[in-house]
Chains A and B, each alone.
Chain A
Amino acid sequence: MNLHLFLVFAHIVGVVLGTGGATFAEIFYLKAKRDGVFEPLEVDYLKTSYFVLRVGLFIIVLSGFGLLVLLRLNEFGDPLLGVKLWAKLLIVLIIVLNAFLIQARKMPMWLGSSLSLTSWYTATILGLWRGIPYSFGQIIIFYLLSVMVVAYVLHIIDKRILKSVTIKK
């Protein structure tokens, strides 16, 4: 296994952990919210999901920069200035900023959850997609629209869960 392959593998592992972690964090959050009380075990599951997510982010960023260095050393600069890379970088920055704002209690969870989920999945799709035919602006507009759609979908799911709990009571 050469260095490039190792870094790509590490990057994919990071994506799996990060996107998976974000998905399960959201699932556990919605489940924990059902009765309005966050039990210690539920908090523990959430903390574990966030930890896995952060490990994923760490691996992604380190392996990602490793790949960028390889491009530099091989004098292959086009991807370094490409739309796809900079869109992914911006989205990773949004993930990090979102984490800070959530920790500082400055981000409402309905938006924070949507930003987190949409960002992780958008970055994953961008990573998988070869030859993206859109400009940076188009990608970001689509991303922002997706954030709103996901926020609405999570709101619907949340209301249905609340409704089912209310009916059972």
Chain B
Amino acid sequence: MSTSLSIFLTIHVIIGVLGVFLFGGVSLGLLKKKISVKMLKYFSLGGLISYLIAWVLGGHYYIVHYGSKVKPIIKAGDMTWAHSIVMEAKEHIFLFLPFLAFVSVVSIWTLGSSLDEMPKFKKAVMLVSLSAFIIGILIALAGIVISGAATI
């Protein structure tokens, strides 16, 4: 793997995990009776940007390296399911993330503290953010499995 690809992969992982953390913070923040609007705004925006960067870098790595170099290794090994199930699921399910993140950002930035006066909508935004968090965790875990299958 070239140095630039190694760097891209590293940033993809770290910034993706950062995005997961930020949406965890957004979900927790929306559970409070009185929300901290400033924290929610910056966490949600930071999470969206993180997911977008992870998407671009992951996509680049997938196209330039994974398909031709890593996938054959996995498919030739004992864990072919790591590609056929885990990676296939990852490359489709991750697409939810930027859109869920976007909805969360728009809701928080446009409504701000008035979310406290709309408990049902606040709960809905919390669930959207929580989905972005949980799916992010699953995507990260899938990445570990795929990396393991590629290097055992």
Contacts and interface: CB of A to CB of B under 8 A. Distances in A.
Interface of A: 58, 61-62, 65-66, 68-69, 71-73, 75-78, 80-81, 85, 89, 93, 96, 99-100, 103-104
B137 interface: yes
Contacts of B145: 80-81
Chain A interface mostly: helix
Contacts of B10: 66, 69, 73
Nearest to A105: B31
Contacts, number: 64
A73 B149 contact: no
B17 A65 contact: yes
Contact of A72 (B9, B14, B21, B137): B9
B148 A81 contact: yes
B98 interface: no
B27 A71 contact: no
A72 B6 CA distance: 10
Q: Size class of B's contact patch?
A: 20 to 34
B135 to A, nearest CB: 14
A99 B21 contact: no
7 contacts: A58-B21, A68-B147, A71-B151, A72-B9, A81-B145, A93-B137, A103-B28
Nearest to A74: B151
Given A81-B148, A100-B27, A61 B141 contact: no
B24 A96 contact: yes
B148 to A, nearest CB: 3
A73 B140 contact: no
B9 A69 contact: yes
B147 A80 contact: yes
Contact of A80 (B9, B21, B148): B148
B17 A80 contact: no
Given A68-B144, A103-B32, A77 B21 contact: no
Given A61-B21, A62-B21, A65-B140, 7 more contacts: A71-B147, A73-B6, A77-B147, A78-B152, A81-B149, A89-B141, A89-B144
B150 interface: yes
B152 A81 contact: yes
B14 A73 contact: no
A92 B32 CA distance: 22
Contacts of B14: 62, 65-66, 69
Nearest to A72: B147
A99 B130 CA distance: 13
B141 to A, nearest CB: 7
